A and B are shown apart, each in its own frame.
Chain A
Amino acid sequence: MSRSNVVDDQTDRGLRFDPLFNTHYDAIYRYCARRLGGSDAEDAAADVFAVAWRRLDQMPPGDSTRAWLYGVAYRVVANQYRSRRRRTGLTTRLQALAGVGGDDADRDPTTGSEVDLVLMALDGMSPTDRELIRLSAWDGLTRVEIAHVLGINENAVDQRLHRARARLKTRFDLLVAQSPRTEPREASA
């Protein structure tokens, strides 16, 4: 590898990276913010694009790019949880790993709005179920993209998503029933 080749490559890399960043920064930042909150989200999103820069040549083209970036974001967010876990003590390692996204565990079901209750219901789900629902409802990913991010096949996405939505509804209905401040309502999955 001669020096000029390195320079040529980096020049090309810069030209390819700018449109990628401009197209996807918003979605990737939101993905991170949903799972990590404000300041950590910025770090995580920046990490995602730093990875993208380094792996530009391996990035699949066209529509697959978005799923690839979400796949990186999924790992980066997982890393952030690991860092948090270290900060909060290794003795809680497994609990923290299992509780990905469980920032709102202290929410009181007797005082919450419907939005709070659905978030509580979501928090109480397994990490995989929770991530399936978030990717679908919040990030707007297709089943193919979700399959890529989670490393499962598309049929498994369909099945798991169906079951996850059913479980979410069950949990939500239970919370609604427990909540004196929220009128029971017909929730549709």
Chain B
Amino acid sequence: MIELLERADPAMGLEIDQARLRARVDERLGLSTRLWPEVSAGRRPWIIAVASFVAVLTVAIPLLLLHVRPSVNAPDLDGITDLPGFDEAIPLASGGLQLMVADGDTVWVMTTLQNLLQRVSAGSGDIEATYPIDARIEGVVVGDGHLWLMTTDDGGGVLRFSPASGVVDLTIPIGGAPGWAQWFGDNLWVSNDHGELVQIAAGGEIVSRRPGDLKGGEGLGHLWVNDPETGLISSLAEDSTLGEIVIPTLDGLETANGWGVRQVTESAGKLWLLDGDYPFGTNLSIFDPDTGELSSFGGLTFGLLDLIEYNGYLWVTSHTDHLLIRVDPATGDIRRYPVPGKAGGLVVAGGDLWLTLYHPGALVRLDTGADLIEAGEIVADDWNRFPHRMLCTGTADAGGPTVILQSADWIEYGSMSVVQAKLSNEGYTVCANGYVDGEASPEQRAVDLEEALVEAGINGPYVLVAAGDGVHAIRLFADGRDDIAGVVLVDPMPIGFQAFYDDLLPGFGTPPWLDLDAEVSTSLTDFGDSPLMVIGQDPDAVFLSQPFIQDAEREKAEAANMYWQDGLAFYAGLSTDSRSIVANDTGFDGIIWFQADLVVGEVLDVLGMTDTE
């Protein structure tokens, strides 16, 4: 039989054109193989590098555009402060890593899109002052009574800002775009993109330059620098001695420049290193200075950004998963707390822990002693091709239908983390499904959801909740099923909206929204008589908002709104038992963040209907 099988191998005798296949791979990577014959092998990596950098920029620019979108909403940050432990939420503080710094009882935040430097009182939560900065700033450091602003403008440099006068009083070119920066001892240390570590005195003089790549944070009385000579992370002392302590390598942890270790901090006499290989880095590692050994603490989740020690715990933000993670360094206990947005940087000011939410754009003061809502366990994790995730809470003996939360394509699976936590607290099994980054089609998402549920042994009936373009995957998943107990659609994306919008408003940056082929849509079964709630956007907060009308002209704004409202009506028609409501003052993704209670209430209504049937 084996011999017969071997003879039956369809690939037997198959001739494979290696060059042709490689060209297909390169096409997918955005690289041109046509260049290779004209370029020596030694230069190929450089071309790959340049092409890849262009690709990175191509990805980065739409991400920035995403950040502009809330300006057409009117975010109500009360939704954030309704959550336990979220004591203060201050708008416009879009600072991410290195864009927020504490100085005693003051938090300084750089809001990058508006180029505004804000001074926030950690005591009152008031924005005490706002300073326009005439440069693009990518890092803020406090030292010697000044703020030091890292700018990529004019070839890269550092601006010295005087809080007393409220102006930039010195510009220091550093010969390249700045990377990480730290105030240490009496000097500013900053990396630039030529692989140099630049030492700047308080007066602005450049004291030294040396090869090296600075890591974020400090610990064990040192800064930590990747030494390109050894490829290892080495200590940097205040007297600028490099390499008194050298951290060894560890399987699975990149220690080299750039990718790899992003941030370090000290806790319990050890140095903790955060794997910042965004978004796939997941691990914390521990360096023990007594033994000189580096060991793995283990995985936390994807998209790790910042690491800080506060009140005896390590605190880590996950950008993609919308989580704040607390690690007890003594016991190894890990707690994951959902946050209402994309978690960014952390600082301690005025004795409190402060967190930035990059999107929707808020600076939040946390009461870590409060009863923070906890996130659940991840039951599906990285299905190889796409970083697909399904995180389920309350899986043990919850009873009743399982709630499936299907995120919109471009805002990751953790985007409904607050909705999930609140529903779990009501005693239901809730699974958040989605991707760490978006590449999968709606069809793929539907099948991955189905497979993940089967793998996890989570059976119907299901109540389906979809946000934005997540509606397409949910409809595909529900097609022909008889175990759908109810559906809640949160501002669902109309069929064909991307093409319509692009035609209507060419040049307006939008995310690459997912769409569903109109014929496919027509072929899908509807939701029958299952309860269906459609939560629609408030037109006055989105397309008919004054800023949008100004940008798009009233006629086009009204056309966009009309298309969207028609879409909402279409979805409401998918069940004979449907209800439509409007989320006042917001729309798009804002609803799941700013009006989580509204979504939770509607889901509970649907669950209530299924309980009584």
Q: Which residues of A contact B (CB under 8 A)?
A: 1-15, 21-22, 25-26, 29-31, 33-34, 37, 42-43, 45-47, 49-51, 53, 55, 57-58, 61, 71-72, 74-76, 78-79, 82-83, 85-86, 89-91, 93-94, 97, 114-115, 118-119, 122, 133, 137-138, 151, 165, 168-169, 172, 187-189
In the complex, whether B191 has a CB less than 8 A from a CB of chain A is: yes
Does the CB pair A82–B383 fall under 8 Å? no
Q: Which residues of B contact A (CB under 8 A)?
A: 1-2, 4-11, 14, 16, 18, 20-22, 24-25, 27-29, 44-46, 48-50, 52-53, 56, 176-179, 191-195, 213, 251, 254, 256-259, 277-278, 280, 383-385, 443-444, 447, 455, 476, 479-480, 520, 523-524
Does the CB pair B49–A45 fall under 8 Å? no
Does the CB pair A34–B49 fall under 8 Å? no
Closest Cβ–Cβ distance, residue B589 to chain A (whole Å):
25
User: Which of A14, A30, A42, A89 is within 8 Å of B48, CB to CB?
Assistant: A14
Closest Cβ–Cβ distance, residue A24 to chain B (whole Å):
11
CA distance A10 to B29 in the complex (A): 12
CA distance A6 to B195 in the complex (A): 11
Does the CB pair B179–A1 fall under 8 Å? yes
Q: Residues of B contacting A91 with CB < 8 Å?
A: 480, 523
Does the CB pair A30–B27 fall under 8 Å? no
Does the CB pair B5–A3 fall under 8 Å? no
Q: Residues of A contacting B4 with CB < 8 Å?
A: 114-115, 118, 172, 187
Q: Residues of A contacting B56 with CB < 8 Å?
A: 6
List of 5 A-B pairs having minimum Cβ-Cβ separation, nearest first: A5-B258, A2-B179, A46-B24, A4-B193, A50-B28
Closest Cβ–Cβ distance, residue B5 to chain A (whole Å):
4
CA distance A3 to B193 in the complex (A): 6
Q: Residues of A contacting B179 with CB < 8 Å?
A: 1-2, 4-5
Does the CB pair B53–A6 fall under 8 Å? yes
Q: Residues of A contacting B10 with CB < 8 Å?
A: 33-34, 37
Closest Cβ–Cβ distance, residue A18 to chain B (whole Å):
8
Report how many A-B pairs have Cβ atoms within 8 Å. 180
Closest Cβ–Cβ distance, residue B378 to chain A (whole Å):
15
Does the CB pair A4–B1 fall under 8 Å? no
CA distance A94 to B523 in the complex (A): 15
CA distance A122 to B7 in the complex (A): 13
User: Which of B11, B52, B192 is within 8 Å of A6, CB to CB?
Assistant: B52
Does the CB pair A2–B177 fall under 8 Å? yes
CA distance A165 to B63 in the complex (A): 51
Does the CB pair A138–B25 fall under 8 Å? no
Does the CB pair A45–B21 fall under 8 Å? yes
Closest Cβ–Cβ distance, residue A59 to chain B (whole Å):
10
Q: Say yes or no: A4-B195 contact (C-beta < 8 A), given A10-B52, A47-B28, A55-B280.
A: yes
Does the CB pair A118–B11 fall under 8 Å? no
Does the CB pair A86–B520 fall under 8 Å? yes
Closest Cβ–Cβ distance, residue B437 to chain A (whole Å):
10
Does the CB pair B195–A13 fall under 8 Å? no
User: Which of B20, B29, B523 is within 8 Å of A50, CB to CB?
Assistant: B29
Closest Cβ–Cβ distance, residue B370 to chain A (whole Å):
34
User: Which of B24, B256, B259, B385 is within 8 Å of A79, CB to CB?
Assistant: B385
Q: Say yes or no: A46-B28 contact (C-beta < 8 A), given A9-B258, A82-B447.
A: yes
Q: Could you list 10 examples of A-B contacts with CB < 8 Å? A: A7-B52, A10-B52, A12-B256, A14-B44, A15-B45, A42-B21, A75-B385, A86-B443, A91-B523, A133-B5
Residue ID in chain A nearest B7 by CB atoms: A115
CA distance A6 to B176 in the complex (A): 14
User: Which of A5, A13, A37, A188 is within 8 Å of B193, CB to CB?
Assistant: A5
Does the CB pair B1–A138 fall under 8 Å? no
Classify the interface of chain A: helix, strand, loop or mixed. helix
User: Which of B2, B52, B384, B480 is within 8 Å of A75, CB to CB?
Assistant: B384
Could you list 20 further interchain pairs (A-B, Cβ under 8 angstroms) beyond the known A12-B256, A137-B6? A2-B179, A4-B177, A4-B179, A5-B213, A5-B258, A11-B49, A14-B44, A15-B45, A25-B16, A37-B10, A43-B24, A46-B28, A50-B29, A57-B280, A79-B444, A97-B447, A115-B7, A122-B5, A133-B5, A188-B1
User: Which of B1, B7, B14, B28 is within 8 Å of A33, CB to CB?
Assistant: B14
User: Which of B9, B16, B259, B447 is within 8 Å of A138, CB to CB?
Assistant: B9
CA distance A165 to B523 in the complex (A): 40
Q: Say yes or no: A11-B48 contact (C-beta < 8 A), given A6-B56, A79-B385.
A: yes
Q: Residues of A contacting B480 with CB < 8 Å?
A: 91, 93-94
User: Which of B21, B177, B192, B256 is within 8 Å of A46, CB to CB?
Assistant: B21
Q: Say yes or no: A82-B443 contact (C-beta < 8 A), given A2-B192, A57-B280.
A: yes
Q: Say yes or no: A168-B443 contact (C-beta < 8 A), given A14-B49, A53-B29, A79-B385.
A: no
Q: Residues of A contacting B385 with CB < 8 Å?
A: 47, 51, 72, 75-76, 79
Q: Residues of B contacting A21 with CB < 8 Å?
A: 22, 25
Q: Residues of A contacting B6 with CB < 8 Å?
A: 137-138
Residue ID in chain B nearest A89 by CB atoms: B523
CA distance A83 to B7 in the complex (A): 29
Residue ID in chain B nearest A81 by CB atoms: B447
Does the CB pair B383–A29 fall under 8 Å? no
Does the CB pair A137–B2 fall under 8 Å? yes
Does the CB pair B277–A30 fall under 8 Å? no
User: Which of A13, A75, A90, A114 is within 8 Å of B479, CB to CB?
Assistant: A90
Does the CB pair A93–B213 fall under 8 Å? no
Does the CB pair B177–A3 fall under 8 Å? yes
Q: Residues of B contacting A165 with CB < 8 Å?
A: 1
Q: Residues of B contacting A37 with CB < 8 Å?
A: 10
Closest Cβ–Cβ distance, residue A116 to chain B (whole Å):
8
Q: Say yes or no: A34-B193 contact (C-beta < 8 A), given A2-B178, A82-B447.
A: no
Residue ID in chain B nearest A32 by CB atoms: B11
Q: Residues of A contacting B523 with CB < 8 Å?
A: 89-91
CA distance A14 to B46 in the complex (A): 9
Closest Cβ–Cβ distance, residue B573 to chain A (whole Å):
20
Does the CB pair A57–B254 fall under 8 Å? yes
Does the CB pair A90–B21 fall under 8 Å? no
Closest Cβ–Cβ distance, residue B180 to chain A (whole Å):
8
Does the CB pair A29–B195 fall under 8 Å? no
Residue ID in chain A nearest B442 by CB atoms: A86
Q: Residues of B contacting A169 with CB < 8 Å?
A: 1
Does the CB pair A11–B520 fall under 8 Å? no
CA distance A51 to B29 in the complex (A): 9
Q: Say yes or no: A7-B50 contact (C-beta < 8 A), given A55-B280, A90-B520.
A: yes
Does the CB pair B257–A5 fall under 8 Å? yes
Does the CB pair B25–A75 fall under 8 Å? no
Does the CB pair B11–A30 fall under 8 Å? yes
Does the CB pair B5–A118 fall under 8 Å? yes
